[in-house]
Structure 1
Amino acid sequence: MRARSALFDVYGGHLRQRGGAATIAALVRLLEPLGFTSPAVRTAVSRTVRQGWLRPVRLPAGPGYALTARAERRLDEAAARIYRTRPSTWDGQWHVVLLAAPPARDERERIASSLRLLGYGPLTATTWVAPRPSTELADLLDAEQVAAHTFLAQHEGDDVELAARAWDLDTLARDYSDFVAEWRPVMSAVDGSAAAPAFAASQRLLHAWRKFLFRDPGLPARLLPPDWPGLVAAEFFDRETSRLAPAVTRFVTECLSGD
């Protein structure tokens, strides 16, 4: 886990619901159980500000940093998929993105990673599909200065085959099973009695779970293979997150009130 990723997880998982701002001292305290020093946190904050995700603000306890509107949209989109707060219904239409031209070689992987994060899968180098539009797509295309045509359409063929073409569901299924097998013994060793260790364990679990955002678009059940292991993995993540929530909330409150 890098300091910048941990910073995003803290803002998205905790600070977004508490006004989306914190002093640098509070951020240092929050990331300390994850092994990050004060200079590492300050460097991550500065880099995140330069990238347009955080902005300096004046808080009652002193100088701090708040989420930008762009960051709020990114974190809300991520939270809807991490915690599955969005309705799971699907109307049978795909959101199609046709890039006007193939991205240059040095831009290709960056744009592809961003599109995957938003839930899109590739059919060709310039054609991407998702089961629903992303509210962040316009920001992405504008930031990358990429022209594209977007529209909703129904697929005249087999939607299950289309999903299997756009996403490697077999590998994703194995990785979901591996996630549970790896993290079950790790989380069973955390009893939640101590706030800081509970917070650290919860954040590390979230960091591992969040990696699936780049690979799982949240397909409706009818497009997934039977006995989809992603459901078991999601139930495990929810159960462990809820179990440690009281201790985690206590730790975050202590860190934010310590200024």
Structure 2
Amino acid sequence: MKPRSLMFTIYGEYIQYYGGEIWVGSLIQLMEQFGVSESSVRGAILRMVQKNLLNVRKIGNKSYYSVTPQGGRRVEDGVKRVYMTPKHSWDGFWRILTYSFPEEKRDLRNEIRKELSWTGFGMISNSTWVSPNPLEDQVIEMIQSYKIEEHAILFSSASVVSHSTQSIIDRGWNLQNVSEEYDVFINHFSAKFEELQEKALTNSLSDKECFIERTLIVHEYRKFLFKDPGFPRDLLPKDWSGIKARELFWNIHQMVSIPAVRFFESIFEAAPDKEVRPIRNKAISPFNEVFV
């Protein structure tokens, strides 16, 4: 489990609902539950600060970390997509991004590709990415954040003259592979669900175990954000495994959420100069906020 990716999961699941800032000692303790060493946490933090994903504040001899606007956008977009309810019908529009970067900006181009893939876009040629989802605001924000206005153009079109809708989907995404990966997720977490149910019935689920299980399933489910474009249901294949995977994710999440938040609160330490008013109901059940 990569420390940086796990950190994004913890910020999105918990920290953002508790003022968005955390003492590094608390973060180290939380990451320790997943076998991540203190040195690995500090190394990941340093790299994230250098990449403008985290901010640091010093108070006395303690350091407190929060996400930057760039990192916050990544967290917010991830949370929205993990917990949103997919649309049933497509609005008929393709969002099309084209770009052209000089060779000296190759690293920036690669970063933009990662961002687009994360957002759910599919690449249909080397410099052309498309999505059937209404992502205009997110893409414009990305363009402005990376200051690439002179290199990228966003279009919206209701028709593709040369190709069918299905051929565009086949060119940009491999939904069969995604479905098979959902099946693996379902097989693994179906057994986990039965195990947790049994422990819940015998009152043997600890807060710590619930924190670990909630964080793990969110962390694993988040990986599909790089693979599943989150299509409206009328563009998906019949018997799409993602629907069953989502129901399983929801069931486990709801079972362990309250004890998981209790464990987080037992470790979390905010900065002494900051009055934190937890949004506990959202930390427990982000599903209450539905994006359609």
Taking structure 1 as the reference length, the TM-score comes to: 0.88
Residues 256, 59 of structure 1: CA spacing in aligned structure 2 closer, same or farther, 3 A cutoff? farther
Residues 16, 85 of structure 1: CA spacing in aligned structure 2 closer, same or farther, 3 A cutoff? farther
Instruction: Name structure 2 gaps, 5 residues minimum.
Output: 272-292
Contact 1:55/1:66 (<8 A) preserved? yes
Following TM superposition, by how much is the alpha carbon of 1:198 offset from its aligned partner in structure 2, in angstroms? 1.6
Q: In 2, distance between residues paired with 1:258 and 1:104?
A: 42
Contact 1:199/1:247 (<8 A) preserved? yes
Amino acid of the residue matched to residue 165 of structure 1? Answer: R
- Of 225, 246, 251, the residue aligned with 1:239 is 251
Residues 68, 89 of structure 1: CA spacing in aligned structure 2 closer, same or farther, 3 A cutoff? farther
Q: In 2, distance between residues paired with 1:58 and 1:204?
A: 30
More off after superposition, 97-106 vs 219-228: 97-106
Are 1:127 and 2:128 matched, yes or no? yes
Following TM superposition, by how much is the alpha carbon of 1:64 offset from its aligned partner in structure 2, in angstroms? 0.5
Aligned to 2:213: 201
Following TM superposition, by how much is the alpha carbon of 1:221 offset from its aligned partner in structure 2, in angstroms? 0.7
Amino acid of the residue matched to residue 195 of structure 2? Answer: A
State the Cα deviation string for residues 206-244 of structure 1 (Å, max 9, x = none).
221111111111100111111111000011111111111
State the Cα deviation string for residues 65-118 of structure 1 (Å, max 9, x = none).
111112221111111111116766532111100113587896465443321111
Residues 21, 160 of structure 1: CA spacing in aligned structure 2 closer, same or farther, 3 A cutoff? same
Aligned to 1:180: 186
More off after superposition, 45-54 vs 153-162: 153-162
Are 1:253 and 2:265 matched, yes or no? yes
Aligned to 1:27: 27
Are 1:143 and 2:155 matched, yes or no? no
Aligned to 1:165: 171
Following TM superposition, by how much is the alpha carbon of 1:251 offset from its aligned partner in structure 2, in angstroms? 0.7
Q: In 2, distance between residues paired with 1:20 and 1:152?
A: 35
**Count of residues in Structure 1 that have an aligned counterpart in Structure 2:** 259
Q: In 2, distance between residues paired with 1:42 and 1:100?
A: 36
Secondary structure of 2:14's match? helix
Q: In 2, distance between residues paired with 1:17 and 1:167?
A: 34
Aligned to 1:189: 195
Residues 59, 199 of structure 1: CA spacing in aligned structure 2 closer, same or farther, 3 A cutoff? farther
Q: In 2, distance between residues paired with 1:175 and 1:134?
A: 28
Q: In 1, distance between residues paired with 2:88 and 2:241?
A: 17
Are 1:12 and 2:15 matched, yes or no? no
Q: In 2, distance between residues paired with 1:153 and 1:73?
A: 26
Following TM superposition, by how much is the alpha carbon of 1:254 offset from its aligned partner in structure 2, in angstroms? 0.6
Contact 2:22/2:269 (<8 A) preserved? no
Following TM superposition, by how much is the alpha carbon of 1:60 offset from its aligned partner in structure 2, in angstroms? 10
Q: In 2, distance between residues paired with 1:103 and 1:258?
A: 44
Instruction: Name structure 1 gaps, 5 residues minimum.
Output: none
Q: In 2, distance between residues paired with 1:91 and 1:60?
A: 54
Secondary structure of 2:33's match? helix
- Of 206, 227, 246, the residue aligned with 1:215 is 227
Q: In 2, distance between residues paired with 1:74 and 1:162?
A: 27
Aligned to 2:276: none
More off after superposition, 141-150 vs 35-44: 141-150
Following TM superposition, by how much is the alpha carbon of 1:130 offset from its aligned partner in structure 2, in angstroms? 1.1
Amino acid of the residue matched to residue 15 of structure 2? Answer: L
Amino acid of the residue matched to residue 185 of structure 2? Answer: F
Q: In 2, distance between residues paired with 1:184 and 1:199?
A: 18
Contact 1:195/1:248 (<8 A) preserved? yes
Amino acid of the residue matched to residue 124 of structure 1? Answer: S
Residues 136, 233 of structure 1: CA spacing in aligned structure 2 closer, same or farther, 3 A cutoff? same
Identical counterparts, % of pairs: 26
Residues 59, 9 of structure 1: CA spacing in aligned structure 2 closer, same or farther, 3 A cutoff? farther
State the Cα deviation string for residues 38-78 of structure 1 (Å, max 9, x = none).
22222221221111111012579953011111222111111
